[in-house]
Amino acid sequence: MTAPLTSVTGDSGSNGVGLLFNTELQWIFRKLNESDFGIDAQIEPVLGGHPSGRVMAVQIKAGPSWFAEVTPAKDGWVFRENTLRLRDYWLNYADPVLLVLYKPATHIAYWQHITTDTAVVTGKGFKVEVPASQRVDASSYRALAKLARQAPPDGLTELLRDLPAGCGNWLLACDETDPALARSLANTLVDGRGDPERVVTAVTDGWGQEQQQAAWLAVGEYAIAYGATRTGGDCFLAADRAGDGQPGSGRLRAFAGAMLAGTDPDRARDLLTDCMSVTDSRLLAAVGLAALDHGANLGPIPVPAEVLDDPEGAAREPTVQRFLADQRMRVGDWEAAITYHEQALARASNSPSQQVALADALLKRASSTSATLAGSDYRRAAGLAETARAELRRWRGDSVPAAHLLMQIKIMAADEASAFRVALAQPDGEATAEEAASPQLALGAARIAYGHGDIARGDTFAAVVDASGDPVWRTNLAANRANAVGASLADREAAWREVLAVDQYLGRRVAACAQLAGLGCWPLTALDDINDADLLSPGIHDVLHAYALTASGDEAAAMVLLRRLRDSSLPAAEEYAQRLEALGRVDDAVQACEDASNRFGYARLELLALDVLTRAGRNAEFLTKATELLGRSDLPYRLRHAIRAKMIDEYTGRHEWARCERLAQDGLQEITNLQSDLNLGRADALMAPLSAVDDLAELHRRYAWMIIINQFNQGQYHRAYQTLDELHPDAQSAVEVTTWFDLYQLQDWTADRAEAALQLAERPGQPIDLVRRILFTLRRSMPTGDDPALEDVRERLEQAWQARADQREPPLVPISADQYAALMHANSARTAPALQGVWQGTAPVGAISAATGRPYLLSLAQQAAGFLPAVDADTEVYRREVEAATVALGNPVVVETTALFVAAGVLNRWSLIAPEFSNLLIAAPALYDILLSQVHARALAQDAVTISLAPDEDLPHVEPLADDIRRQVLALCRAVGDAVQSCRAISTSTSANVDEGNPLGAAGPWWTGVAVAAARTLPLYSDDVVVRARARAQGVPAFGTLALLEALAKAHRLERSKTNDVLSSLFEHSVVDLPHASALVTAAHEQAPLAETVLLTLARPATWTALDDQGTGLVITLANHPEIQADPRNLASLVYACASGWAAAFSPPEVVIAKLLTVILVYGAGVTADAARTVVPAAQKIASAYEADFMPHLQTFLLGVLTDPTDQFHMTTGDATQTVRDALSDYE
């Protein structure tokens, strides 16, 4: 029979963990032959070289599935169970229990001690966080040894952690006389928490007067804590009988009477009346009878004379203090209510209901006229609500009221994101299963979602409300949804009036009246009734009247009312500010927000003021005010980060990436500090609440990405990658995933990186274009080899690609060689004008990039144009550029891509050049092009080929790209990418085209540097003569690398002897149009006249226009070069290049070509038939492009030179005619 896989994993886990305890700690490990439920083994520590006799139990979970859920802080893993059975078993185990997670692949194990604090109840189940720092090795020796030395749990103590505090106290008293009864009763009560009333009835059935009083009181407290007040009252009466007249029996009867008041008022009155004659219960009985007498009246209950006459006795009774506080709450006397609540809590410190009551009073005061320290009230209220919620969760009490109050506090503290999480189920939110199923919390979450226009998300919570079937919650939900979806006025009015018809809760009735007033409904009978009963806070009635006046169109009357109330009512102050904004009085609205914020301490008014400024377009004032607010230390953490996020959005719109990065760095540091405070137990319930762990982790992730993206936007790719590698934030949004992928594309793809990229691509919800880009790039860029890990990723990548192609893309239709050739012809026709424009000096080199669709830098590295016109051949222009470079030294300068290409890629002198300027600016589009070019260059290393099509052929030739070319292109792009890290990105439009009159000067990153330089009145550093010419036309000084190096030489910062090395490197990389004819001659002698760089230069029209009268001498020199003389056939290449340049530079072409051939034949090759057969066909190829016939002119020019009496030939006309006829006989 085959063992199940989990059994096999379990065996390997036990063996592996046992080996770790044996070898790492030298402790004794005993595997249980038949595993206990929840226990796999025991360990006995060896302390001081001897077995300690202490035993710890171990539960082992082995395999990758147990490491699937990472803790929010990314510092461990979460173990979950869907029931509490295992938790109860572990907590009641006789020995300490360790949960161990084991990774067989790495032979590493991690442990956690199981306690009520580490085994956290999550509703019907529980979770345990296992820290990555607690490894089963020598580093844990001290912690585990200390744990082993602790006294074993006594069982009862652990059980009491799952029971209400009052119940637990009486069980401890019972334990003093009957330990067995205490433990048995505790076990029963823990197991019966699902139906407390039933279990109490079952436990007490058969108990008589002989049962000890402590046991009756334990089950009575238990029943009352779970809401079974009648059963609890009966238990208190039984306890009174069991006490047989002991001191305090009157108090027990009084408590019983109070518990029975709601279900059996007659019996309660009898008990309370009887207690009035007992000294120790008189005050309790008096307040109980007062409540019975008051009945269902809404107003405050008159304070009994007994209480007024005995203030000292009343101060000792927490129940009486709570009664007094409740009456002051009913009349809005928050100060007095808080005082009474605090005295009650001091005497009942473990009471969750009292904690909630005090938190509610603090929240009310924080919204009132007396809230001079509202921030402190919010923080304290949040802390009390969280404590109450945690206490109620501990023993599975009704934690919904505490959670709902916590939600309200967070909303009032302008932290709606945290408020929303209160209702969101774990692990995404904070709510337990019971809380998430609460219609009250779901309604609160739906209102938040609807308020933000997120109807779909609100409807998910609406489903919870509908499932409850409660008409109160359902009508409230329907009314809120009607507002959210923009229902008609009549439908909204009907919905809110329905709320008034079914909901008797005071707060919601007032809210419904406010909504109706906002619809223009006035008067409102329900509101008048509440006001007549003195149950409205001061000014609320008039504020709602102002709402109705505004909705009815009587703005003036509404403003009069609001002005009268703005100093005494927070709602009035907020409405007044909003009305001022609506009237266009922005300054007054902001001032009203600030005044009200100072008066009431209401955090949302700060955000309202910022929103007013933003909507008014007053961005500078917005930033000033936001900066001031961030300087305040008392703001709740969510408000601080909301303000910082608004500032980052503003600076992002301005493309001020450095400011965005600084703000994000500050935010990250603040979050890190808050996380540290939480870990050290220094949590502030509002500034850094315990429930904010997940929120802080998410903010940490967001700030990390803000930093990375803004470093990326500044072109600081190396820094961005270092930050990504250091912080490892999870990429979630499309922008984050794109940035992650772009940064990793600049690195070498390892198996781990490729695996991570593949997982991102397969994550649900990613944009299809992004997924295709990731998959496509990985297929092109992943290295080949025999690495099994890479092979595995490559196989799954191919599967993902095929799946995507099958689902998303139409099938590829094969094309024939003829069709491919047609496409290449079409592409050639498209790029030919751009190439001709570059050659003629009328278009920038970027025109080739635009025509071919390649990234700009990549086209430079691949020499798509065949050359780079980096230096102006006009010596006067060059002189002015040297002057411009001289002036620019030590000052800011705008850098264009070609300058980086020449200085960093070609000459490798960027480290020398960059420090010569105080600041190097580059247009952002150019910077992004550099990144894109690096990515494409890396792809060339995998699958690039060259495709060529000869003019006289119809089929393309496809050959792999040579390795040396691959390496060169990649090295050039990498060098430019490294160099640009020292530049600061400046935002400008990618579509900027400063030469719109020239169709070849298409918009692109090559022009953006001109736009930045012109806007900032800075010089431009570019190695494209056309770009520099356009810059000068716009009044921008411009220079290239050669001019800069000459300026440095003149300033004695560069040895002039290095200039020759520079010239040689420029020629080697086809950087042409040097400003000295002698330099071209020197290059011809050094590299041979047929060197590609020399021929390219000769073919350039700018070479000849700059040489002017020196051009003929240069042709004669080259024609007589030893290499040409040694093999006259080489003359054809020289003629072809020179004819190209002359025909483009001068006109008409038939004349200039004839003159060129005359010079070459007469002063170089000779006027012979052999020479003519070499040069004429080459010239004819150029002439045919112009449809020019140069032969008649050639004959005329040859005759003229040969018969010129001033020249060296002095031939007669007859001889000259015969010589020319013989030489050109093949072309007559």
Q: Which residues contact 287 (CB under 8 A, 6 or more apart)?
A: 304, 307, 319, 320, 323
Q: Which residues contact 69 (CB under 8 A, 6 or more apart)?
A: 77, 78, 80, 427
For residues 688 and 678, is the Cβ–Cβ distance under 8 A?
yes
CA distances from 403 to 141, 381, 441, 861 (A): 40, 12, 8, 63
pLDDT at 10: 46
Amino acid identity of residue 690, one-letter, is L
Q: Calculate the CA 826 to chain-centre distance.
A: 44
Q: Which residues contact 597 (CB under 8 A, 6 or more apart)?
A: 603, 605, 606, 609
* Antiparallel, parallel or unpaired: β 108-113 and 97-103: antiparallel
Structural tokens at position 1095: 């021929």
Q: Which residues pair with 42 in a beta bridge?
A: 30, 57
pLDDT at 989: 59
Nearest to 336 by CA among 351, 348, 321, 347: 321
Nearest to 903 by CA among 804, 1013, 812, 980: 980
Residue 1169 and residue 805: Cα distance in Å, rounded? 64
Would the CA dihedral through 34, 39, 41, 43 be positive or negative? negative
Q: Which residues contact 506 (CB under 8 A, 6 or more apart)?
A: 298, 530, 535
Nearest to 765 by CA among 737, 789, 744, 790: 737
**Helix-, strand-, coil-residue percentages of the chain, each rounded to 5:** 65, 5, 25
DSSP 412: H
Q: Which residues contact 324 (CB under 8 A, 6 or more apart)?
A: 303, 307, 314, 340
For residues 844 and 1026, is the Cβ–Cβ distance under 8 A?
yes
Residue 531 and residue 539: Cα distance in Å, rounded? 10
Reduced to 3 states (helix: H, G, I; strand: E, B; else coil), residue 111 is strand
pLDDT at 1024: 92
pLDDT at 1: 30
Residue 1056 and residue 635: Cα distance in Å, rounded? 63
Tally of CA atoms within 13 A in the half-sphere of 1041 that contains its CB: 30
pLDDT at 1115: 85
For residues 716 and 982, is the Cβ–Cβ distance under 8 A?
no
pTM (predicted TM-score): 0.53
| Burial per residue of 1042-1081, b for 16 or more beta-carbon CB atoms within 10 angstroms, e otherwise | bbbbbbbbeeeebeeeeeeebbeebbebbbbbbbbbebbb
Amino acid identity of residue 1060, one-letter, is N
For residue 1110, count CB atoms less than 10 angstroms from its CB and return exposed for 0-12, middle for 13-18, buried for 19 or more: middle
For residues 1166 and 1221, is the Cβ–Cβ distance under 8 A?
no
Q: Which residues pair with 44 in a beta bridge?
A: 28
Question: What is the maximal distance between C-alpha atoms in the chain?
Answer: 158
Average confidence (pLDDT) per 10 residues, the chain, 1228 residues: 36 81 87 71 81 85 87 87 84 86 88 89 85 89 81 71 90 88 89 89 84 91 92 91 70 90 90 89 92 82 92 91 91 84 88 93 72 63 90 91 92 80 85 92 92 89 92 93 93 95 89 92 91 78 88 89 82 85 90 84 76 88 87 73 85 84 89 71 51 64 90 84 88 88 81 84 80 80 72 81 60 53 57 77 85 85 79 78 93 95 90 91 88 76 49 52 75 90 78 51 79 93 92 93 85 66 61 54 55 66 71 83 75 83 85 91 88 89 86 91 83 89 87
Q: Which residues contact 109 (CB under 8 A, 6 or more apart)?
A: 16, 17, 20, 100, 101, 102, 103, 135, 136
